[in-house]
Structures are given as C-alpha cells and as structure tokens.
Chains A and B, each alone.
Chain A
Amino acid sequence: MIEYRQVTKVFGSGDTAVKAVDDLSFTIERGDFWSLMGPSGAGKSTVLHLIAGLTSPTSGAVLVEGRDVARMSGKEAAELRRRRVGYVLQAFNLLPFLTAEENVGMPLVLDGVPQREIDRRVPAALELVKMTHRAKHHPTTLSGGEQQRVAIARALVIDPAIVLADEPTGNLDRANGRAVMDLLVDLNERLSVTILLVTHDPVFAAMAKRVLHLVDGSLEQTTASDGDGDALTTSGRRR
C-alpha cells in the first residue's frame, strides 16, 4: 500500500543541509494503522509529505499502491491527492466563509465531481464524523473538536484508501482529542482505511496497531517482537 525504499530527503545544501529522512525503508499494508512518534525535527511530517507527493525524495522511492509518487505525472499526482489520500492536519484549515458541508464538499468541487454526487457524498462523510446536525454551520460557530471532525469529513469525502493525519489532536483538549482518535480507530476497523498518524501523544499513538519511533530521520532500532492479536507492535524495522 505504502512503501518506502531507502528514502533520503535532504533539505538545503552544503553546511546547512539537513537530512529530514535518512535511508528509511518500511512497508505499510492495506488496512494498517501506524503511528509515528519522535522528537520535533525528527522528520515525521516529511514522511507524510513524501507519501502525498508534496515533496520529492532526494534519493530512494516512495510507492503508493505500487506506483512511485515522484515519477507520477502532474495529473497522476493530483489524482493521488484528490482521490486516494486524505490529509488531516493539526490546523483545521477550514474556509471560514463556507459552511461545514460546503467545506467538506470542496475537494469534490475542485475535482469536478457532479453536484448530484457531491450531494450524496457530503452528508455521508458528515454522518461518519457525527456532524450531520452542524452541516449548515460556519467554522467560527463550531468548537475546535467539531472543526476537526469537519476537517476529517473533508478528508474522508473523497473515499480515500489512505488517511495521513499529522498531529490531528494537537489543537484539541483531551476529550476532543480522544473523540478524534476514536474516530480514526473506527475508520480503520470498519472501513479498513489505511492510516498513518503522526503524534506526540503516547496515549493516542498507542491506539494504532504499530508504533514507529523516528530519530534523526531514521527508525529507531528496538528489539523486534511482532505483535499478535491485541498486542501492539512497537519495534522499528530496518532493512
């Protein structure tokens, strides 16, 4: 589903060059739910950016559904972002002059999806995040937790195979953060959406099926013990 092959990403050059990702390899299978932890500057967000094709690797390859993201044509890359990958960020980035349902429908509008189809999919996405009752509200009248749920609905409306969530609970209090996490777990369990979550919060990270620790752009090596049943896999894998 998502494969990193010896990926290195360097920002800058010469003395100021920073290796955000350093020879990183891993494979996330369809329906997996991984979380990525690590100190600030460890390269966590870059790992997500590379999957969404928002930046290209300096060397190595990132494959999504078997295709090398960096080698996609502009059209293919756009299609990947518009139809396959849902992105959820710490900042909700909702357009303030649009209602919740209009915000949720925006990716479909941009993708030229017929209005009839939009009218069918937006309520379904709002239903998934339990925000149907707030469909006509503007973001400023919603709480932080509600805004994030709308933002998640916007990510889900494209029916993505993959959800990339970068600190989605970062701006939320405990209860709302937990609600968002419950939602992600639910999406993974019920709809088999593949999820890669970046978080600082160990409680939320541990709700995933596997926790990876990134230190200076590479996976921390810990003793491997593959999870079974309810067990959480916390080992880094390096190939």
Chain B
Amino acid sequence: MRHSHGVHQAVLGVVSRNPEGIHGYAVRLQGERLLGHFWRLNFGEIYRILDRLAADGLIEQIAGGESVRKVYRITPRGQRSLDDYVLSPQTDAPRPLRQELAVKLLFASSEHLPELLRLVARQRDAYLQELHTLGAERRKMHRAPFDAFVTHLMIDGAELAARAEIAWLGEVATRLRERYGAGATGNATA
C-alpha cells in the first residue's frame, strides 16, 4: 500500500468496518488480515494517517474506557468520503515502465553484451523473487481462516504484471543475443 493514493482510504475503510471504534494497533492487524502482503504500513504511518483523518473530520476519537489508547470511529462525513472514493473512477495512469533499462540499452555498446545480459537477468530474477513471495502469500491465504478474496485478486494482478515483465525481459535477452551475440551480423548501433 505504500506510496499509493489509496492508503488513507484503506485506513479509513478499516475504521469504517468497526462502528464500535478501533485503535491504531487493531487497524494494523485488520489491515494485514484484509490485504496481507499488500498492506505495508507500519505503526508510525498508521498513527500519522489516523491523526490526519481526524484533523480532516473523517474520523473522530471516542471516549475510551479504561484504555489509554486512542479509539476512533468514522464520522458521517468520513463515510461519505469513503463511499465517493470507492465508486470514483481509478486515477492510476499507466506507469512509465522499463525506462531505466531502455536508457542502458540505448547507450551500451555491443561489446557489453555479457554485462547487458546480466542486467536483464538480474531484473528478471528480481521479478521471480517477487513471484516466489506472491506464491507463498497465496498459499498462506489459502490456509487463512477468513475470506481473502481481494488479496487473491491483488496477487493475481501482481503475478500478471510480473509475468509480463519476465516475458519481455526474455524477449530482450533473445534479441540482444541475436543482435550482438557470436555470429550476429547486426550493426552495433541502436
């Protein structure tokens, strides 16, 4: 969830599910339960977001009983804001992909083929590592005692993205070998 526009809304959403009130620690636990691997907020971040949401009037502190923890619940305004958010169109633009590798490919020379292939392989391995983590996460969710519907969808999406990257990197490696490898006739200019 880090760096995502949805972070505040995710925290607001968790608070909204607890009409009797919820404290920061429980927000984190519930968030992890709901989103697993994709919920990457630490306590500091959660408390900052809760403060912010409270300052904006989207949540309010309720009189805690014996606990010294701050307990929050969503306000009508917060609920409207959350509903608006849930139903509003996505704001994510396609991310500018592969720029870094493109620049390297453009300006590396043909005699750097082994190094280029290593760069490509390293990037591919990073995605394989990501897939390994996602696979472990999926298996964990299978055993989870709650409905991890959304997490499964998130994992599906992340897997598809990683597959696409790996397929493309494989294509890059093949084409680099064809162009610059032993026996290649291609010119070294890009």
Contacts and interface: CB of A to CB of B under 8 A. Distances in A.
Nearest to A189: B139
Contact of A202 (B117, B122, B127): B127
Contacts of B128: 202, 205-206, 211, 232, 234
Nearest to B131: A206
Interface in B127-168: 127-129, 131-136, 139, 142, 159, 162-163, 166-167
A231 B139 CA distance: 16
B21 interface: no
A170 interface: no
A161 B118 CA distance: 34
Contact of B122 (A182, A207, A223): A223
Contacts of B122: 222-223
A205 B130 CA distance: 12
Contacts of A201: 163
A206 B118 contact: no
The secondary structure that dominates the B interface is helix
A206 B135 contact: yes
A206 B132 contact: yes
Contacts of B125: 211, 222, 234-235
A1 interface: no
Interface in A200-239: 201-203, 205-207, 211, 213, 220-223, 230-232, 234-235
Given A220-B121, A222-B118, A202 B129 contact: no
Contacts of A205: 128, 131
Nearest to A202: B166
A106 interface: no
A234 B167 CA distance: 16
Nearest to A230: B136
A231 B133 CA distance: 8
Contact of B162 (A202, A207, A222): A202
A185 interface: yes
Contacts of B170: 39
A202 B131 contact: yes
A213 B132 CA distance: 16
Nearest to B114: A221
A207 B167 CA distance: 17
Contacts of B134: 203, 206
B121 A222 contact: yes
A182 B139 contact: yes
B174 interface: yes
A201 B164 CA distance: 11
Nearest to A206: B131
Nearest to A209: B132
A232 B129 contact: yes
A73 B118 CA distance: 43
Nearest to B121: A222
Interface string A88-112: 0000000000000000000000000
Interface of B: 117-118, 121-122, 124-125, 127-129, 131-136, 139, 142, 159, 162-163, 166-167, 170, 174
Interface of A: 39, 182, 185, 201-203, 205-207, 211, 213, 220-223, 230-232, 234-235
17 contacts: A185-B139, A202-B127, A203-B163, A206-B131, A206-B132, A206-B135, A211-B125, A211-B128, A222-B122, A222-B125, A223-B121, A223-B122, A230-B132, A230-B136, A231-B129, A234-B129, A235-B125
Closest 10 CB pairs of A and B: A206-B131, A234-B125, A232-B132, A222-B121, A206-B132, A202-B166, A207-B135, A206-B128, A232-B129, A234-B128
